[in-house]
Chain A
């Protein structure tokens, strides 16, 4: 870390800051600090003239750090970004001038406190020196040689990256090998599967950048982005490959129809699955398994397993379309056939509606909204379906020669990765076995850095979507490789060069960092000591928050730096009746919410002091006891929503804060303090209108319980 010893403090008086705050007073406070070499007030710090001046002064005064005291760091323009020196923001505009009464002594006190905090933090921080693994690798490993894997390999190679493709079977193509044709993709006419697959395999063969390992199992993966070591095994023996990132494309399996007891799949020969029908179609004939005759009445049962809380609670997305595709084939091949489709809802989103409409026109195809109650065996192995017809409101019976169960898609296990990680072999599954961590906004992200899931293992989807997924996963894999080479973090703190540094001499092997890191960054040595893998790290600081020995720190975000901020300000004694509340505010959503409140000039109590944190999971207990010992009357921890629909950018950070609160209450008890002294608030970014009320309510609580007895001690 480059330390900060020569700091320049630049205070902006524009945007009403100068009207609300005595900036000259701030200047006189700043220059008293030995680390501050220079302090100036500028009327418009974001102007081009100010930029030139600042740039000159950095060089002339040999400044190693800057404090920009003006608007919120979220608003600061490009002209105030200096990458070669450490820089901190003091938010005088959204944090003070816009939300507090102009000219009031409490407003001035808030501004002075924030400046002191900024100076204290800067003195304890520096420009981070990045972590770059030795000779990072650029190759991509793809696990799974189905359509997603094949397409991933092709896309990676087309972008100039070497790809290692591992498939456990003796040929590539996966489930496509047993399929007859493709559902016409929206806007695309290519449905000839044979041609489609052959074309891809030819390109694969011709590429010099792709190495294919068939009949090969992936034994293990160890290491970190840029430095993964994969061990492979096949009939000829074991081999190794070094890669920068990994794509998991091990696909799906049909839901086991034997589990659908109401259908009696194992009892009846003439019940088959959609996948089995597809295999028959590939032979270009549909025959009853019992006698090899052509069936004349075929019944399709949709949602056989899907949309069912006892089986697959989700919709498998492709079964409606697949059945319609298969029905079209059968009707063309066997013009005398009659077909019933028993469904809950026919789901053909987008332009697929045209496919549905075509089938609806066929008067040999009957759509029945309902549910199969039971299936009885008739002579000849034919079947009688007893169906509750929702539209007619009665139970109907259909005689079927063949029944096709549209069983849904189940993701294969991500444990196939065999990660030699302390936290497990696979990707943590967030819901129903799917491994993606933010499926609306950032669908390719998982909780294992540098490992991206694509295709049907990520979410139930068809061929077209799987190929798009392949492209997306390759983009993410390339990003990770390139970011690792620069020593930068990937999503969500893309570009961050800081990383956690551990002072191992004081480590007690308590393993909390190992346990609590949402990304499995920490392994363990044989002796059980945490073994950090910085390239796996997303820089959230949750490990820093978890460490009871306080040995985990970032160059620009450390236990010491935040503690210094807490201790840097004067706390009024109880007779002044000016309480102080410290708020740790998550910089992802809550801090922007404070900015938005300021944009509306909502009034916020001048007794509040905010410290932005990377995640509320990064709050270390020592900061709480430091604050209470220093005499703050209360502490708020404001972060993103936890729970099933979590909004935490680091997945489990705010959830952890919920579980850590027991420890926190213990701290309060040992200090003989009321439980209300520390409260956690979960705030969504658009709830900024609630902020003044949240703060005021808490101030009332503090007033009720009275001042912190540690004041003046």
Chain B
């Protein structure tokens, strides 16, 4: 085992960054991801704030660095089952999903063309359909098709296996196991949006026009379910008026007692790209405090100067439905006025909930994040493992954490 070897759990932007930075500094790197592709939440995002630039741009350059590096091994569709040992000598046991599509895949698409099964595309949060065997998304790394175990008819169909000219498909593939020994381990296991079903007052699930903020990113994305045109999921008509409900779960002792740090900037960004689609579009943002960090301040300024966007200080007390359309009730604290308005769509700025694996050596703090001081020597954690973070902070921090693997 190479002393300067590190296993990184989680292939989102934090994990990817740590992997390339560690490899280029001389480490042997294993990058483990449970999904079939790298990129995590970022791969699904339409734009980054405050530059409004596509996340694919940063992913492409990082994937290029992974492709060019002989020191990184990427293991997707894999989860850590067990972690043992001490600093300098950890053993990690992985459970590998069956490799129905192997590295011989050329992404030619012949399999998908003959696949008879259509299913809701989870990449787009079920807002569009895809085939049981399909490319997870255009830039997916590794660049190969993925077979959805839950919907594929397997033995009774076999059409894809027959159509593949490159021996890339094996429907009888079995789950596997693998043991890896490394000097240190870095957790970059990421986050998921707070479950809006807990927010009873916001009518979650009662109308497809009430979305959360990660779904909104797909709706706005050029490779999303509506090719980037922001349409009401209920009837496919263009949305003209959207409300953003900030702190949907966050800063609320009944839900998430902490601030999720990214939702303000995310909603500002979404309001900008929504209003840029049509001069008639209107966006209202209901907030408690507008929290944008550092140099993103001019991004807030840009929104304040945008005549199509209203910033309303006041937490939305209720989202209800009137003749199928969402209605928001809130108090505008600055004017003392009660607001009751109807919208085409409502976006709930749901907060960040950490995804922490239950492994040895990890203790949680009262908020459910990894307790930093309690981490054993040789283990470290980045991204949203300690607290909610935006991409810029995650990248900054995970690069810094690589130093642990070099010592």
Tell me the A residues contacting B by CB distance below 8 Å. 14-16, 44, 46-47, 71, 74-75, 77, 155, 158-160, 185-189, 306-307, 309, 313-317, 345-354, 357, 369, 390-391, 393, 431-432, 434, 439-444, 459-461, 465, 467-472, 474-476, 478-479, 482-483, 490-492, 494-495, 588-589, 592, 596, 599-600, 640-641, 645, 647, 649, 684-689
Contact = CB atoms under 8 A, between A and B. Distances in A.
Interface residues of B, number: 85
A442 B5 CA distance: 23
Contacts of A348: 259, 291
Contacts of B197: none
A443 B396 contact: yes
A441 B61 contact: yes
Given A315-B293, A596-B139, A440 B400 contact: no
B396 A469 contact: yes
A471 B402 contact: yes
Nearest to B222: A686
Contacts of B58: 440-442
A218 B52 CA distance: 39
8 contacts: A158-B403, A347-B289, A468-B397, A469-B400, A475-B399, A495-B65, A589-B57, A599-B135
Contacts of B294: 314-317, 459-461
Contacts of B289: 345-347
Nearest to B261: A349
Contacts of A44: 106, 165-166
B396 A647 contact: no
Given A317-B294, A474-B403, A645-B51, A351 B65 contact: no
Given A47-B104, A482-B26, A685-B60, A313 B298 contact: yes
Interface string B38-72: 00000000001011111011101110110111000
B355 interface: no
Which 3 A-B pairs rank lowest in CB-CB distance, beginning with the nearest?
A471-B400, A187-B372, A472-B400
A447 B68 CA distance: 23
A479 B396 contact: no
A434 B295 contact: yes
Interface in B284-337: 289-298, 301, 313, 333-336
A307 B293 CA distance: 10
Chain A binding site: helix, strand, loop or mixed by DSSP? loop
A435 B290 CA distance: 26
B53 A349 contact: no
Interface in B384-407: 386-389, 391-393, 395-397, 399-404, 406-407
Given A187-B387, A688-B138, 9 more contacts: A44-B106, A188-B372, A393-B334, A439-B295, A443-B395, A469-B400, A475-B25, A476-B399, A686-B223
A15 B104 CA distance: 12
Interface stretch (B76-84, B120-128, B208-216, B363-371): B363-371
A689 B313 CA distance: 39
Given A188-B372, A471-B402, A641-B53, A347 B223 contact: no
Contact of A479 (B25, B223, B301): B25
A341 to B, nearest CB: 13
B400 A159 contact: no
Contact of B373 (A46, A188, A472): A188
A467 B259 CA distance: 23
Contacts of B393: 465
A472 B295 contact: no
A444 B65 CA distance: 17
A440 B371 contact: no
A250 to B, nearest CB: 18
A345 B25 contact: no
Nearest to A356: B259
A592 B67 CA distance: 14
B388 A349 contact: yes
B281 to A, nearest CB: 20
B227 interface: yes
B259 A475 contact: no
B107 A75 contact: yes
B386 A314 contact: no
Contacts of B135: 599
A347 B293 contact: yes
B400 A475 contact: yes
Contacts of B365: 187, 351
Nearest to A592: B60
